[in-house]
Amino acid sequence: MKILTLGEIMLRLSSASGQRLSNTSSLSCHYGGGEANVAISLANFGHDAYFASLVPDNLLGLGVKQHLQYYGVHTDYLLFGGERLGTYYLETGVSQRGSQVIYDRAYSSFSQISNDIWQDATLFTGIDLFHISGITPALSEDWQVLTKQLIQKARLAGCKISLDINYRGKLWTQAAAGLVIRELLPLVDYCSAGELDARYILALFDDKAISVDLLTCYQKMVATYPNLAVIYSTKRQVRSASENDLQGFIYRDGHLSMSQAYHISPIIDRVGSGDAFSAGILHGILKGWDAQEIITFGTAACVLKHTIEGDRNLFTEREVLRFQKQGSGDIKR
């Protein structure tokens, strides 16, 4: 299958565990971004994945291109221009101390895009699935308009639309996000959204004091946006920065399916685990699996991501399936 994802990709600069950002003498480098991470996972699963973005025409932009090529992601729509590559600093948390992020992404090439720079390209030709996230419209007012236009073009070209709401409190308010996301949702087929999204972004429930469960949320979402064929999310209990419990959920055809609950300890790198999950879900959908197979696979891919440094996941379909079967963490020799 052919998939196109589009979004910003940044240089992540992260401190080692046990160090603080203010006095580290070196930083690890990883290129990452939600949509790029999804494209890489899908390429690892055997699909023809394309990633569209804009990066500066310098050695960092070249680094982005080669990073994508390494995994076999097609870079036909990775354009070069603009002023700078967005970056962010990650102080890697451990134990009781959570990770923290300093964004330095303003004025990036991608965020400054004000019109469809891919308009002359055959961007959606032959594409089965177009994946995008709620981070993109958070970048500028131009991007709020552009995001909707791109989704509409994709639909016209016959693509299925996948949206990861991916709310980031450091980029915009819940109210601002709500206005934009609620306008996009009627165009979407597959959506990554959790209880907090349903409640605070989509504002589906009047009285915020009443507790609602995930099933109720998803039922209400589909009642409001009947175009949504699949909704999915993880529930994560954060015991510490190093120890989380995680379970995956998917809603399709009126039923809620769920994976086993995993205990993940220690966590090597949590960033990008949501993208690994989304990619696993989308892979299952593209393969035509049933809901239980999909959520089992997506959650397994997500769990494995936590054991890998860097934003993107590194496992093939065969490896994820083997992990589902053998599970433990035992050595093979």
Which residues have a Cβ under 8 Å from the Cβ of 314 and sit 6 or more positions away? 44, 308
Which residues, numbered 129-158, are part of the site for a second copy (CB under 8 A)? none
Rg of the chain over Cα atoms, rounded to whole angstroms, equals: 19
Least distance (Å) from a second copy to the CB of residue 63? Answer: 4
Residue 306 touching a second copy (CB under 8 A): yes
Q: Compare residues 202 and 241 and give the one whose CB is closer to a second copy.
A: 241
Q: Is the Cβ–Cβ distance between 293 and 284 less than 8 Å?
A: yes
* β-bridge partners, 78: 53
Fill in the amino acid letter for 327: G
Of 94, 145, 187, 196, the one binding a second copy (CB under 8 A) is: 94
From 61-69, 145-153, 249-257, 279-287, give the range in contact with a second copy by CB under 8 A.
Answer: 61-69
Residue 325 touching a second copy (CB under 8 A): no
Greatest alpha-carbon pair distance for the chain in Å reads: 57
Name the helix (H) or strand (E) containing 246.
strand 243-252
Of 76, 100, 149, 183, the one binding a second copy (CB under 8 A) is: 100
Please choose, from the candidates 268, 283, 309, 310, the residue with its C-alpha nearest in 3D space to the C-alpha of residue 300: 283
Residue listed under structure tokens 């165009």: 187
What are the tokens at 132? Answer: 């995008």
* β-bridge partners, 5: 51, 131
Residue 176 touching a second copy (CB under 8 A): no
Residue 168 touching a second copy (CB under 8 A): yes
Which residues, numbered 220-239, are part of the site for a second copy (CB under 8 A)? 238-239
Alpha carbons within 13 A on the beta-carbon side of 196: 11
Residue 98 touching a second copy (CB under 8 A): yes
From 98-106, 175-183, 185-193, 203-211, give the range in contact with a second copy by CB under 8 A.
Answer: 98-106
Of 1, 46, 72, 317, the one binding a second copy (CB under 8 A) is: 72
Q: Compare residues 115 and 333 and give the one whose CB is closer to a second copy.
A: 333
Residue 318 touching a second copy (CB under 8 A): no
Please choose, from the candidates 207, 298, 214, the residue with its C-alpha nearest in 3D space to the C-alpha of residue 260: 298
Of 1, 46, 48, 63, the one binding a second copy (CB under 8 A) is: 63
